[in-house]
């Protein structure tokens, strides 16, 4: 930081990620509002607190081990190599705190290069990834409302938010992850690494948790449990759209010399650009075009397919973005629009087919919008970007349909569905997964409501006494 | 007495970690993890106690059907100002 240009580059990067975090906070606000709108009155407080407490629990665990996993697990470990040392990301590292970038402490395993590089970027980079972690957990939260025990959900939230999703990011959403190197896996804006895994995870939990009481008739046909407040649901989804801007921008590295020594190391050449997470050059313009066009494709298709249903039209907008996100760094905007439309139709159709066929009660369509549309997004990118290099570095597999299809299976099933199924089975076996039946019937907030009723009656009694005393 | 390594701001280019008690990071990590795990244990206990109280409350009111009836009556009273 001894000259203005270096300082500008570093502090711009620091500020850039910080802004993405502020935007992404809105995703969580949106999810909380959305869930409260979707749940029934008698469950509101618990529904809100269930998702709110994702924030601290995933944050602290992401500090304790999630961040380290991202750097340490790029080789599997033991799929293509060993654990990778990441001393700047352990919870006891001096770089996980206020640091000015000078020499490391005596006896530290850190180098002077480590401290100079990570001192200003570590916290904001950690936070940008952390907000993705909240999103992954929050996606699951909506699917299981009104019957999961909050304690069980919070354990599951830590499993996906600070463990399984960050393993998938290490494998398939880092410049040197084994899936990128060996499969040519390409998922620039996280169709798979956030959405497919979270959808698969939600499905695994739902399978063990079961439907809400009253969701299915005796003959197995589903009843529609309408949102308590559809307007809150749509406001929540609007906020998620807004936060999505931060999500997209956080997937990029804002400025890097692609030919510089830290990257391709081409002598006498410079090319400063934003890159995606794989260090492939891209532009904010490209992703702005494609974000909006895929959102539009999703909204338009969902409006038609759902006959103008507000909930599904908004959800279709999300499914549109999610369906195109894998390749939204490279697609043409009209391709993004059409792919987005396909994602929305698939999510809508699959939701109701799975509900009828397998009696899965996904209260907010999370498995469909995130899981199926995310899976579809990865597979489509494999075809659309077939033959593109998956990395600027030599020796990596090219993007291919089979590489991305295998990647989609890993995201949805290996790191999403199966871990959720196993942990949910354990929690179920311990009697910790689902709230007691009687409480589910009357509502999780029964004691709050009883207390509120008693307090209201107490106030009414006081008013009656006052009125009697004054002769009114 | 000083809790940190900073005693002036003149040699900024040499500064590394500047939080108080540099060197205690390992212990802080253990404390932090214990706080997190302890929170889960306490929360699970509180939740079990809450559900137990909920069940007693439901039983006292005559079962889920009666609770729902009372709630419906209250809402009706609220909406008509009773």
- Residue A452: its pLDDT value, please? 73
Task: Tell whether B22 is within 8 A of chain A (Cβ).
Answer: yes
Q: Which of B22, B26, B71 sits opposite A449 (nearest CB)?
A: B71
Q: How far is A152 from chain B (nearest CA, A)?
A: 9
Q: Which of A389, A387, A333, A414 is nearest to A76 (CA)?
A: A414
- The answer on A452 and A413 residing in a single domain is no
All residue ranges of chain B with pLDDT < 70 are 78-82
Contacts of A101 in chain B (CB under 8 A): 15-16
- The answer on A359 and A469 residing in a single domain is no
Task: Tell whether B69 is within 8 A of chain A (Cβ).
Answer: no
Which residue would you say has higher pLDDT here, A469 or A432? A432
Q: Which residue of B has its CA nearest to A433?
A: B44
pLDDT band at A5 (very low <50, low <70, confident <90, very high): confident
- The answer on A53 and A121 residing in a single domain is yes
* Segment A76-115, tens digit of pLDDT: 999 999 999 999 999 999 999 999 999 999 889 999 999 9
Domain residues for the domain of A451 are: 436-472
Structural domain tally of chain A? Answer: 2
- Give the pLDDT mean for A336-350: 98
Task: Tell whether A115 is within 8 A of chain B (Cβ).
Answer: yes
* Segment A256-284, tens digit of pLDDT: 999 998 888 999 999 999 999 999 999 99
Q: Which residue of B has its CA nearest to A105?
A: B16
Contacts of B36 in chain A (CB under 8 A): 57, 60-61, 64
Q: How far is A142 from chain B (nearest CA, A)?
A: 20
- The answer on A373 and A447 residing in a single domain is no
- The answer on A454 and A311 residing in a single domain is no
Cα(A169)–Cα(A398) distance, integer angstroms: 19
- The answer on A108 and A33 residing in a single domain is yes
- Average of per-residue pLDDT values in chain A: 95
Say whether pLDDT at A164 is over 80.
Answer: yes
Contacts of A446 in chain B (CB under 8 A): 54, 57-58, 67
Q: Please tell me what DSSP assigns to residue A389.
A: B
Cα(A242)–Cα(A263) distance, integer angstroms: 33
- The answer on A430 and A303 residing in a single domain is yes
Contacts of A90 in chain B (CB under 8 A): 29
What CATH number did the domain enclosing A274 receive? 1.10.3430.10
Which residues 160-179 of chain A have a CB within 8 Å of chain B? Answer: none
Radius of gyration of chain B measured on its C-alpha atoms: 28
- Give the pLDDT mean for A452-468: 83
Residue A418 CB: number of other CB atoms within 10 A?
15
Q: What percent of chain A has pLDDT above 90?
A: 87
Contacts of B68 in chain A (CB under 8 A): 441-442
Q: What percent of chain A has pLDDT above 70?
A: 99
- Residue B82: its pLDDT value, please? 47
- Give the pLDDT mean for A150-167: 98
CA dihedral A448, A449, A455, A459 (to 10 degrees): 150
A77 upstream amide cis, omega within 30 of 0: yes
- Give the pLDDT mean for A375-383: 98
Beta carbons of B22 and A105 less than 8 Å apart: yes
- The answer on A447 and A301 residing in a single domain is no
Beta carbons of B32 and A91 less than 8 Å apart: yes
- Residue A1: its pLDDT value, please? 67
- The answer on A471 and A345 residing in a single domain is no
- Residue A472: its pLDDT value, please? 64
Say whether pLDDT at A206 is over 80.
Answer: yes
Cα(A143)–Cα(A369) distance, integer angstroms: 11
Say whether pLDDT at A424 is over 50.
Answer: yes
Cα(A292)–Cα(A110) distance, integer angstroms: 43
Cα(B5)–Cα(A49) distance, integer angstroms: 41
Task: Tell whether B23 is within 8 A of chain A (Cβ).
Answer: yes
Cα(A343)–Cα(A335) distance, integer angstroms: 12
Say whether pLDDT at A309 is over 50.
Answer: yes
Task: Tell whether A81 is within 8 A of chain B (Cβ).
Answer: no
Q: Which residue of B has its CA nearest to A448?
A: B54
- Residue B81: its pLDDT value, please? 56
Length of chain B, please?
82
Beta carbons of A155 and B40 less than 8 Å apart: yes
- The answer on A440 and A369 residing in a single domain is no
For an interface test with A, give the residue of B25, B26, B50, B75 to mutate (most A CBs within 10 A). Answer: B25
For an interface test with B, give the residue of A52, A446, A458, A460 to mutate (most B CBs within 10 A). Answer: A446
- Give the pLDDT mean for A353-372: 97
- Residue B11: its pLDDT value, please? 83
- The secondary structure element, H or E, covering residue A200 is helix A197-209
Say whether pLDDT at A447 is over 80.
Answer: no
Q: What are phi and psi of A99, to 5 degrees?
A: -145, 140
- The answer on A366 and A441 residing in a single domain is no
Contacts of A154 in chain B (CB under 8 A): 40, 43
Q: Which of A63, A104, A155 sits opposite B16 (nearest CB)?
A: A104
- Residue B75: its pLDDT value, please? 72
- The answer on A425 and A455 residing in a single domain is no
DSSP-based three-state secondary structure for A275: strand
Cα angle at A118 between A114 and A119, to 5 degrees? 110
Q: Which residues pair with A389 in a beta bridge?
A: A398
Q: How far is CA A78 from CA A83, A178, A197, A329, A386, in A?
A: 7, 10, 22, 31, 28
Contacts of A96 in chain B (CB under 8 A): 25
């Amino acid at each position: 930081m001894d000259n203005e240009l270096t300082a500008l580059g570093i502090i711009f990067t620091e500020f850039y990620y910080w802004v993405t975090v502020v935007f992404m906070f809105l995703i969580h606000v949106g999810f909380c509002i959305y869930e409260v709108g979707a749940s029934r009155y008698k469950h509101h407080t618990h529904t809100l607190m269930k998702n709110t407490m994702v924030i601290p629990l995933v944050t602290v665990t992401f500090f304790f081990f999630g961040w380290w996993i991202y750097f340490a697990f790029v080789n599997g470990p033991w799929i293509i190599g060993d654990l990778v040392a990441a001393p700047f990301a352990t919870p006891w590292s001096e770089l996980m705190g206020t640091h000015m970038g000078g020499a490391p402490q005596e006896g530290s395993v850190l180098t002077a290069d480590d401290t100079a590089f990570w001192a200003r970027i570590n916290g904001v980079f950690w936070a940008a990834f952390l907000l993705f972690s909240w999103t992954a957990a929050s996606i699951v939260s909506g699917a299981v409302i009104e019957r999961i025990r909050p304690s069980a959900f919070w354990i599951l939230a830590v499993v996906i938010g600070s463990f399984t999703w960050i393993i998938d990011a290490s494998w398939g959403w880092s410049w040197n992850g084994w899936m990128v190197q060996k499969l040519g896996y390409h998922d620039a804006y996280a169709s798979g690494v956030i959405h497919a895994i979270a959808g698969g995870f939600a499905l695994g939990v739902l399978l063990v948790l079961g439907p809400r009481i009253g969701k299915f008739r005796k003959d197995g046909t589903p009843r529609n449990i309408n949102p308590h407040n559809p307007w809150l649901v749509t406001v929540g989804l609007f906020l998620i759209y807004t936060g999505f801007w931060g999500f997209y921008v956080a997937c990029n590295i804002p400025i890097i010399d692609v030919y510089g020594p830290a990257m391709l190391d081409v002598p006498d050449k410079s090319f400063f650009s934003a890159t995606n997470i794989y260090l492939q050059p891209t532009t904010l313009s490209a992703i702005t075009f494609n974000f909006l066009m895929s959102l539009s494709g999703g909204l338009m298709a969902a409006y038609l397919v759902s006959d103008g249903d507000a909930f599904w039209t908004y959800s279709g907008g999300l499914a549109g973005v999610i369906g195109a996100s894998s390749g939204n760094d490279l697609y043409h905007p009209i391709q993004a629009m059409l792919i987005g439309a396909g994602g929305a139709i698939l999510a809508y159709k699959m939701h109701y087919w799975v509900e009828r066929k397998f009696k899965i009660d996904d209260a907010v369509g999370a498995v469909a919008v995130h899981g199926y549309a995310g899976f579809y997004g990865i597979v489509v990118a494999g075809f659309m970007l077939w033959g593109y290099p998956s990395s600027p570095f030599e020796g990596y597999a090219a993007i291919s349909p089979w590489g991305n299809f295998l990647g989609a299976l890993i995201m949805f099933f290996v790191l999403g569905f199966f871990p959720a199924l196993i942990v949910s089975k354990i929690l179920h076996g311990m009697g910790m997964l689902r709230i007691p039946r009687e409480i589910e019937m009357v509502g999780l907030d029964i004691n709050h409501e009883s207390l509120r009723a008693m307090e209201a009656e107490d106030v009414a009694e006081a008013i009656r006494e006052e009125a009697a005393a004054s002769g009114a | 007495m000083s809790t940190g390594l900073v005693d002036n701001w003149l040699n900024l280019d040499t500064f590394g970690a500047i939080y108080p008690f540099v060197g205690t990071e390992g212990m802080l990590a253990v404390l932090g993890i214990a706080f997190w795990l302890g929170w889960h244990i306490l929360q699970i206990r509180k939740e079990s106690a809450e559900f137990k109280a909920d069940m007693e409350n439901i039983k006292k009111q005559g079962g889920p059907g009666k609770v729902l009836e009372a709630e419906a009556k209250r809402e009706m009273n609220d909406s008509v100002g009773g």
